[in-house]
Amino acid sequence: MTTYRVYLNCLSPYDYLSSCSGDNENPFRLTSTASPAWFNSLLAAGWNAGGINPAILGFYPEVAFDSFLTIGAANAIENSQGQPSSLWGQVDATLEFDEDGPGDNVAVDDTQGGAWYVPFPGLVAYGSHPAFAGDDLRILVAQLTTAGHLTGQIQVQIFREGIQAQELRSLLTIVTDPVFGCTQPEAFNYDPAATADDGECNLQCSTGTRFDVPTGRCELAAWLGDVGDFEMLDPCHLDLDGSGAMDITDWNRILVVLGEDPGLPLSNCGAGTFYDEDLGHCFAAPSNVGEGNGWNNLHPRFFDLNGDGALDVVDFVNLLSVFGKICPN
């Protein structure tokens, strides 16, 4: 999970955040791609930061990651007067952040609307009240822990320079750090939760293969560890007779193809794979060529798992690492 702290960035240290709200004209939304959306600690009572007791964090560290709404205060003892109150119409957003709350996405878009707020104490409280921006020019409005990607918007009411007559209301979008991943839906490793492309979209790796970052190629999915580590090669890949283990019958098959020319895979396909020019994808090489699964039509490429373009004693010895291992499937 990721814990996001949502801050309002201000222009003056005296700017005061009076309320956060939403209604049908300016909806308050908090959305995560995960379900449930928010983590709520059973040991952090309530919907605001008043449930975060620093004295127990050494015993119950998960409390520190509780999700809550606030205006400035980050825990129960930082400033008691900074804990906000709330008022809601048809949708009570605070219920999603109680210790036993469902933690679902929030959408306050009814005509009555709702808000969490702190009464203005006057400029005399500057320096002690967390709803002032202060020297770092920011005010905490929420802590949200989620396994998904966070989006949302909040309407804020600000007293600029700490003067109530200089009230500003604005609907602001929550901006988070980008979630890197493949954003191309046609790619095999498309990540619907990604908001920024990482440049590693896999447009070629298909059945029986996976994109391997260290080699930059479509390698066999049968490599359960590092590519080329035969100790971590899936024995099911070599259980050609379906006996439930890589046994002498399977192992002896490589003797049939020793000395044959497996050729090298084209494009960015790795060892034990082949490139289909019509489809433009890499596939795991089949164990046999053509019809049937007899020993007279074995596919040399299937056995050249070090990808050197030769079938020799090195390939034979490499497979000793897998001999006798059980195939659970």
Q: What is the DSSP letter of 119?
A: -
Q: Pick 175 or 236 by higher pLDDT.
A: 236
294 pLDDT more than 80: no
Name the residue among 60, 40, 53 with its Cα closest to residue 144. 40
**Of 49-53, 78-82, 102-106, highest mean pLDDT:** 102-106
| pLDDT, tens only, 3-12 | 899 999 999 9
Mean pLDDT of 211-215: 83
AA identity, residue 277 = E
160: three-class secondary structure by DSSP:
helix
Sorting pLDDT into bands at 50, 70 and 90, what band is 186?
low
291 pLDDT more than 70: no
- Alpha-carbon distance of 257 to 313, in angstroms, equals 11
199 pLDDT more than 90: no
Q: What is the DSSP letter of 316?
A: H
Both tokens of 138, joined, read: 């920011």
329 pLDDT more than 70: no
- What is the number of other CB atoms lying within 10 angstroms of the CB of residue 244? 13
Core vs surface per residue 7-35: b (16+ CB within 10 A) or e: bbebeeebbbbbbbbbbeebbbbbbbebe
Sorting pLDDT into bands at 50, 70 and 90, what band is 80?
low
**Of 49-63, 78-92, 148-162, highest mean pLDDT:** 148-162
AA identity, residue 131 = A
pLDDT (0 to 100) of residue 162: 95
Please spell the DSSP secondary structure of 242-309, one letter per residue: -SSB--HHHHHHHHHHTT-------TTB-TTEEEETTTTEEEEPPSBSSSS--GGGB-HHHH-TT-SS
Element (H, E) at 151: strand 150-159
Q: What is the DSSP letter of 187?
A: S
Any residues with CB less than 8 A from the CB of 126 and at least 6 apart, and which?
13, 14, 132, 162
Percent of the chain with pLDDT over 90: 43
293 pLDDT more than 70: no
| pLDDT, tens only, 127-168 | 889 999 999 899 999 999 998 889 999 999 999 999 999 999
Mean pLDDT of 270-274: 90
pLDDT (0 to 100) of residue 217: 86
AA identity, residue 208 = G
**Of 27-31, 48-52, 182-186, 203-207, highest mean pLDDT:** 27-31
Sorting pLDDT into bands at 50, 70 and 90, what band is 81?
low
Q: Pick 85 or 295 by higher pLDDT.
A: 85
pLDDT (0 to 100) of residue 43: 86
Lowest mean pLDDT among 18-32, 170-184, 213-227, 228-242: 170-184
200 pLDDT more than 80: no
Whether a cis peptide bond, with omega within 30° of 0, leads into 36 is: yes
Mean pLDDT of 250-277: 86
pLDDT (0 to 100) of residue 132: 95
Both tokens of 201, joined, read: 């979209």
Mean pLDDT of 245-249: 88
Show me where the domains of the chain are located. 2-177, 209-321
Name the residue among 3, 23, 120 with its Cα closest to residue 68. 3
123 pLDDT more than 70: yes
- Alpha-carbon distance of 56 to 49, in angstroms, equals 14
